[in-house]
Amino acid sequence: MDPDIDKIPEFLKQYPDPIFEFNKRIIDATKDLCVAYKPNSAFYEAYGVKGLQSLIATGKYIPKDCLSIIDAKRGDIGNTSDKYACAFLTKVLQE
């Protein structure tokens, strides 16, 4: 689960936590088909504290009978590396 606020449908952006709302809808639509969910921490860290709150809410929402895997590796491919850079260079250092 690699949410990008720029790619989330506009109607979801009116919710207090559009990232969680997006993830919730994905989980609801797929929970009878999936054995695991794998949120990528970079895509949450890039949004600072609010992103981490979305990640926590998502983790709590994942059904207990599904595996939950956090993808928190460093030194990844382009778009993930960009999100890590955003998280630490623009969010962490400014907050």
Catalytic residues: 73
For 71, phi and psi rounded to 5 degrees?
A: -90, 100
Segment (H or E) for 2: none
Residues 6+ positions from 40 with CB-CB distance below 8 Å: 1, 2, 71, 80, 83
Cα distance from N-terminal residue to C-terminal residue, the chain? 25
Burial class (CB in 10 A: 0-12, 13-18, 19+), 20: buried
